[in-house]
Amino acid sequence: MPRPMTMAEKILARHAHLDEVVPGQLIECDLDLVLSNDITAPIAIKTFGELGADRVFDPTRICLVPDHYAPNKDIKSAEQTKCVRDFARAQGITHYWEVGCMGIEHALLPEQGVVVPGDLIIGADSHTCTYGGIGAFATGVGSTDAGVGYATGRAWFKVPRTLRFVIDGELPRYSSAKDVILHIIGKIGVDGALYAAMEFAGSTVEAMSVEGRLTIANMAIEAGGKAGLFEVDDKTRAYYAGTAERPIVEYHPDPDAEYAQVYHIDAADIVPCVSWPHLPSNTRPVAESRDVDIDQAVIGSCTNGRIEDMRAAADVLRGRRVDPWVRCIVIPATQAVWKQCVDEGLMDVFIDAGCAVSTPTCGPCLGGYMGVLADGERCISTTNRNFVGRMGAKTSEVYLANPAVAAASAVAGHIALPSDLD
């Protein structure tokens, strides 16, 4: 009989064609998908060529998404995207999304049913771990590894240890999935899950939407995690009803699986919080951050750009105006989310409140465009990183928060809770 295993161990064992694996074991696995974007794909394509490969291992299992500097912000970014576009066309890549049908990669792929539960995925982007929210083992790799993946459909892994986070109870008012992961990162630090799989469970998780789980998995990397994993349940199955490209495969941890550590967290302790500069782990309650004035608010990204996030922001902005000295930039994560915002009247709310609404892009998250900060400026953002210079000038500051807090802060002109506006 195989040893009891965690979710991560089961997925890796299956893709390595082994009955069991143990933490620290080196294995070679078959990949279900290889992902790259407009920044990372050109390097992967170069590696692919250097290998002497003529054709990708499977043109239906490569995903290329120009989303970081798209629509192209300058000539260099246009050349990057052209490289990716030409490769996709030459190789017959079926999963290539251009401006007008694209979206932020980590929101787009689950939405389109391209990534499915049970998959093993590598992506040349650190937030590939997002797909653990639907029960896949997904992790970021370098562009060289992605290029090898293009050619072979395989990759080496060291089986990670697993940390289990059991969160029970009801979240306080205005707290959300973003606060759950910020709370955890604040608790264990940015290296607290270094090269570990983070497995999430408990009544709080069970009550959470799939979108919320994707938000938490997205930021596993900010704790140093190799992957963040949630079990498949009825919500996951409903999310994929009619959209999954392939049959979903469910992996559940064995009751007696061995964990490196188990954390028990009371949801009542997870108050709305913000991560102060310059680390996601530098978390403080919003209630202790109200004296921080802001110049900009960004609502969107692969972390919080889904329709649930748009609704949360719109609920706060409805009937209100953004502070005249604050720039509030709203970026729906995909074209489908953008259209749903129109259909639900959320666009009217954003525009009436004085927000700028963008086509889907990663732009401001990495200081690329659509919201670059000047020296000394402060931004509250629903993105996932607040490192030095992350969104612009090295003396600028980024404060991470959930969509409702970001929207309330845009109205107040300083970090605030929605209740502060009443």
Is there a single domain that holds both residue 363 and residue 409? Answer: yes
| Domains of the chain: total | 2
Is there a single domain that holds both residue 223 and residue 341? Answer: no
- According to DSSP, the residues that pair with 398 across neighbouring strands are 379
Domain contains 1: no
Buried b (16+ CB within 10 A) or exposed e, 388-403: eebbbeeebbbbbbbb
Is there a single domain that holds both residue 259 and residue 353? Answer: no
- Where among 264, 289, 324 does a domain terminate? 264
What string of H, E and C letters represents the secondary structure of 316-360? HHCCCCCCCCCEEEEECCEHHHHHHHHHCCHHHHHHHCCCEECCC
**Residue 217 lies in domain:** 7-264
Is there a single domain that holds both residue 203 and residue 328? Answer: no
CA–CA dist 399, 278 (Å, integer): 8
Is there a single domain that holds both residue 65 and residue 15? Answer: yes
CA–CA dist 361, 376 (Å, integer): 24
Domain contains 2: no
Is there a single domain that holds both residue 195 and residue 108? Answer: yes
Domain contains 169: yes
Domain contains 227: yes
pLDDT for position 80: 94
Domain contains 368: yes
- Where among 264, 297, 316 does a domain terminate? 264
Stated as kind and residue range, the H or E segment containing 151 is helix 143-152
Domain contains 398: yes
pLDDT for position 70: 86
Cis peptide before 285, with omega less than 30 degrees from 0?
no
Residue type, 104: I
pLDDT for position 2: 80
Is there a single domain that holds both residue 358 and residue 239? Answer: no
Look up the pTM and report it: 0.95
Is there a single domain that holds both residue 108 and residue 235? Answer: yes
Is there a single domain that holds both residue 318 and residue 289? Answer: yes
Is there a single domain that holds both residue 202 and residue 340? Answer: no
Cis peptide before 106, with omega less than 30 degrees from 0?
no
pLDDT for position 137: 98
Is there a single domain that holds both residue 197 and residue 291? Answer: no
pLDDT for position 99: 84
pLDDT for position 262: 97
- Where among 264, 297, 320 does a domain terminate? 264
CA–CA dist 31, 16 (Å, integer): 9
Domain contains 16: yes
**Pair 315, 419: CB distance under 8 Å:** no
Walking along the chain (422 residues) 10 residues at a time, the average pLDDT comes out as 92 97 97 96 96 95 94 93 96 93 93 97 96 97 96 97 98 97 96 96 97 97 97 96 94 96 97 96 95 97 97 98 97 96 98 96 89 96 94 96 98 97 90
Is there a single domain that holds both residue 176 and residue 318? Answer: no
Query: What CATH number is attached to the domain comprising 164?
Result: 3.30.499.10
pLDDT for position 57: 97
Domain contains 90: yes
pLDDT for position 100: 84
Among candidate residues 153, 218, 147, the one with its CA nearest the CA of residue 180:
218
